[in-house]
Amino acid sequence: MAATEFADLSDEELLAREAELDRRWDVVREEHQRLYGERRKVKREKSRRGLFLPPLHDDDAEPDMSPSEKLNTALAESKKRRQQRP
């Protein structure tokens, strides 16, 4: 199939097409690497803020709290319950 697709191109045209595709590939790869790096930074920041945490069962009770605040509250409540055990 490829032989018929490029049959009408001369050797120079085929080489020029390859060079153009290589140039475009480099541009796409650089953009991909830039976006991948930016995405990693965003994920790292989300993790730092606690946004990867699963929602707590009572999320609707205090919707204005950030996920990290909810986690800290839940941890404090858990600690209190453990300390109250005989």
Give mean pLDDT, residues 6-33. Answer: 94
Percent of the chain at pLDDT exceeding 70: 85
Whole-number Å distance between alpha carbons of 25 and 64? 46
| pLDDT (0 to 100) of residue 66 | 79
Q: Are 67 and 49 in contact (CB under 8 A)?
A: yes
pLDDT (tens digit, 9 = 90+) per residue, 44-71? 998 888 777 666 665 555 567 777 888 8
| pLDDT (0 to 100) of residue 61 | 55
Q: Are 43 and 59 in contact (CB under 8 A)?
A: no
Conformational region of residue 50, where left means phi above 0, alpha means psi within -120 to 50, and beta covers everything else? left
Percent of the chain at pLDDT exceeding 90: 42
Whole-number Å distance between alpha carbons of 7 and 26? 26
| pLDDT (0 to 100) of residue 52 | 72
